[in-house]
Amino acid sequence: MDETRVSVPLQVRLQFGHAAIQYVADEVGVDLLHIKGAAVDPTLRAGFFGTDVDVIVRPAQVAIMDRALRRAGWSLYSTFANGSPFGHAQTYLHPDWGYVDVHRRFPGIGVEAAAAFDALWEDRASVEIAGVRCAVPSVTAQRVLLILNAARSSNRGRRDVPSVWDGADGAARAEAEALVARLHAGVAFAAATGDLEQYRGDRAYLLWKVVSQGGPRSVEWWARIRAEPDLRERLRLIGRAPLVNVDHLAHRLGRRPSKREIGVEFVRRPVIALREAVRAARMRVRGSGASR
Identity of residue 237? L
pLDDT band for 236, please (50, 70, 90 cuts): low
Mean of the per-residue pLDDT values for the chain?
Answer: 82
Confidence of residue 4 (pLDDT cuts 50, 70, 90): low
- Cα gap 160→162, rounded to integer Å: 6
pLDDT in tens, 105-126: 999 999 999 999 999 999 999 9
Average pLDDT over residues 244-249: 59
pLDDT, tens only, 122-144? 999 999 999 999 999 999 999 99
Across residues 194-215, what is the average pLDDT? 91
Between vectors from CA 202 to CA 196 and to CA 207, what angle results, nearest 5°? 65
The larger pLDDT score, comparing residue 219 to residue 254, is at 219
Strand stretches in the chain, DSSP E: 32-35, 53-57, 75-78, 89-94, 98-103, 125-129, 132-136
Query: What secondary structure does DSSP assign to 209-271, as a single string?
Result: HHHHH---HHHHHHHHHHH-SSHHHHHHHHHHTTS--HHHHHHHHTSPPPHHHHHHHHHHHHH
What is the pLDDT at residue 226? 82
pLDDT of residue 83: 62
What's the CA gap between 265 and 110, in Å, rounded?
Answer: 33
| Residue 246 pLDDT grade (very low, low, confident, very high; cuts 50, 70, 90) | low
* pLDDT of res. 61: 98
pTM here is: 0.79
Q: What band does 53 get if pLDDT is binned at 50, 70 and 90?
A: very high
**Of the given ranges (177-191, 192-206, 240-254), which has the lowest mean pLDDT?**
240-254
Cα separation of 36 and 161, whole Å?
14
Q: Phi, psi at residue 79, to the nearest 5°? A: -95, 170
pLDDT digits (tens, 9 = 90+) for 144-187: 999 999 998 755 456 678 778 888 999 999 999 999 999 999 99
Query: What region does 32 belong to: left with phi over 0, alpha with psi -120 to 50, or beta?
Result: beta
Q: What is the pLDDT of residue 269?
A: 56
The model's confidence at residue 192, banded by pLDDT at 50, 70 and 90, is very high
For residue 200, is pLDDT > 90?
A: yes
pLDDT at position 48: 61
Q: Domains, the chain, ranges and CATH? A: 1-196 (3.30.460.40)
pLDDT at 281: 45
What is the strand order of the sheet 53-57 is part of? 32-35, 53-57, 98-103, 89-94, 75-78
Quick check: 244 pLDDT over 60? no
Taking each helix axis from N to C end, the angle separating 170-183 and 186-193, rounded to the nearest 10 degrees, works out to: 140
Greater model confidence, 219 or 104: 104
**Cα angle 101-103-176, degrees, rounded to a multiple of 5:** 115
SS3 286: helix
* Beta bridge partner(s), residue 93: 75, 99
